[in-house]
Amino acid sequence: MRKRVLALTLVLALILGFTVQAAPLRAPRLYMNLTFSGTTATCSASVRADNATDTISMTVKLWQGVTCLKTWTASGTGSASLSKTANVTKGKTYKLTVNAKINGVAQPQQSVTRTCP
């Protein structure tokens, strides 16, 4: 009986002695920015996957209200980025949206809204 308890205790000590470290869940990183210089808007976006071999495609749109003013696309492996300009009107509010797919899987749409000073 004593040997059995000792064996069971030894097995438990070995099992508890091994720590399991789960790999951290890494999410794709999305950066976007909408800036103004006079009546020129600079629209920037970049997507970086958590794996250098992932294929990325993205569509970036500049909106004024419900009107899409410009549409741009970019793609890459591991990351994709673009920076484009568009003519805008002072005092108006604009929205920049980014729709990205990683390995064909759509990611949540991201957006930023700013007013041209």
CATH of the domain at 98: 2.60.40.10
Q: Residue 62's CB: how many other CB atoms inside 10 A? A: 21
Query: Torsion-angle region of residue 104: left (phi > 0), alpha (psi -120 to 50) or beta?
Result: left
Q: What is the pLDDT of residue 30?
A: 95
Contacts of 111 (CB under 8 A, 6+ apart): 32, 95, 96, 97, 98
Q: What is the pLDDT of residues 14-49, one digit of tens each?
A: 555 554 454 444 567 999 999 999 999 999 999 999
4 occurs within a structural domain: no
Give the H or E element holding residue 10.
Answer: helix 2-17
Q: How many whole angstroms separate alpha carbon 92 and alpha carbon 17?
A: 62
- Per the structure, how many domains does the chain have? 1
**Burial class, 45, CB count within 10 angstroms (exposed 0-12 / middle 13-18 / buried 19+):** buried
Write out the residue range of the structural domain in which residue 55 sits: 24-115
- Determine the pLDDT at residue 3: 62
Residue 11: inside a domain, yes or no? Answer: no
**Rounded to an integer, what distance in angstroms lies between the CA atom of residue 79 and that of residue 65?**
30
41 found inside a domain = yes
Would residue 98 count as lying in a domain?
Answer: yes
What backbone phi and psi angles, to 5 degrees, belong to 10? -65, -40
Give residue-wise pLDDT tens across range 86-99: 999 999 999 999 99
The answer to whether residue 5 sits within a structural domain is no
